[in-house]
Structure 1
């Protein structure tokens, strides 16, 4: 049997918004930034993840890392994959559920020039332009996020079954709530909510690593939300709430 495509799903390290949600829960929305950076704790988390991968490289051998166009995922990849010979690429469809926003108002996100200046080692897709990359007139709905997660699974399964796809081990650095939707499809643990919509009940640690192997007609969940690379579990766990 083919070894298939090994995919590491990684939640970004601790961001400013994660910290503010812990310390200012009641007034969080008034403090949150549209596209926050990592805290110093988050930078250390990402660095430790990178050190762990290097020490155990035979278990990873990641050839390409994909990140959302949000600053916290790009910074996580920058710290974690420092010194690791892997391709770096931005995918604009693995952003956090609802997209960049403040008080219910959507924002376009970082521009192409801004991302190239901050992260020159990353391949930036053409859909990121000088106006940004998120161009919806309203924040993303949960139903739209559900469809986006389903489409991503279909793309990854397509890569796993495509002999021309150049990689056998990849990482996706994304976000807690979007991971929630992704694993909701994988695990098929559906909780009925309302008349037509289901929502999963999963949370993910900052820099938590989940490993999935995709083979023809078979998906294997090898591990989920592992944080053994950190001396203590992260103080923030996000996704469902």
Structure 2
């Protein structure tokens, strides 16, 4: 059965449209902008006829907000950290499960570690950048676990770098694409 990949809507970080190498604006766990919320509501119209039975979203706020705007009342949403964004900027630093639960009380976060995002040596901005090989391995492992999610069609709400590593294509904000697993 079909798996759909959905990139989150425009975040506060995306809206800055930074040049490569620009200073990190230090927006921790970036939220959706108003445009990002509009994109998610428009994408909801696209998915209504797809018969999606289950949704996986990362614990990053912009992905959760996108998943809720698109799927509340349509399909159950499960938070899974394995396909989170590669920690490259402060916007990819997560928040503790109890903080997320306070903002999204209808979702379960009790299975997450206190620090579920990458931790390690920090760059000049204090961000613990995730090494590419570690990220690639994590995404490969996530792909191997997709068979355990039997409620299909399945939607995976996530991030640009994740989907590039998982499916070898770039996605626009709130784009919906079929994922052809190998």
- Which interval holds the TM-score relative to the shorter structure? 0.7 to 0.9
Cα deviation per residue 1:48-77 (whole Å; 9 max; x = unaligned)?
A: 1112222xx2xx211111111101000101
Q: TM-score, normalised by structure 2?
A: 0.85
Cα deviation per residue 1:2-30 (whole Å; 9 max; x = unaligned)?
A: xxx31111110000100102xx5378434
Aligned 8 A contact 1:91 1:125 in 2: no
Q: TM-score, normalised by structure 1?
A: 0.65
For 2:130 and 2:110, the matched residues in 1 are separated by: 21
Could you say what secondary structure the match of 1:25 adopts?
A: coil
Distance 1:52 1:120, change over 3 A: same
Question: Counterpart in 1 of 2:158?
Answer: 174
Question: Counterpart in 2 of 1:87?
Answer: 76
Distance 1:152 1:76, change over 3 A: same
Higher strand share: 1
Could you say what secondary structure the match of 1:210 adopts?
A: strand
| Relative contact order higher in (CA < 8 Å, ≥ 6 apart) | 2
Aligned 8 A contact 2:43 2:174 in 1: yes
The structure whose Rg is larger is 1
Question: Counterpart in 2 of 1:137?
Answer: 120
For 2:145 and 2:110, the matched residues in 1 are separated by: 17
Range 30-39 or range 143-152, more displaced: 30-39
Aligned 8 A contact 1:100 1:134 in 2: no
Aligned 8 A contact 2:10 2:173 in 1: yes
User: 1:213 Cα deviation (Å)?
Assistant: 5.0
Pairs aligned (count): 175
Question: Counterpart in 2 of 1:212?
Answer: 179
Distance 1:87 1:183, change over 3 A: same
Runs of 4+ with deviation above 6 angstroms: none
Give yes or no for the alignment of 1:101 onto 2:90.
yes
Structure 1 gap segments, 5+ residues each: 160-164, 185-201, 220-241
Distance 1:152 1:26, change over 3 A: closer
For 2:73 and 2:45, the matched residues in 1 are separated by: 10
Distance 1:6 1:213, change over 3 A: farther
User: 1:101 Cα deviation (Å)?
Assistant: 3.0
User: 1:210 Cα deviation (Å)?
Assistant: 1.3
User: 1:212 Cα deviation (Å)?
Assistant: 2.7
Match of 1:20 among 6, 9, 16: 16
Could you say what secondary structure the match of 2:154 adopts?
A: strand
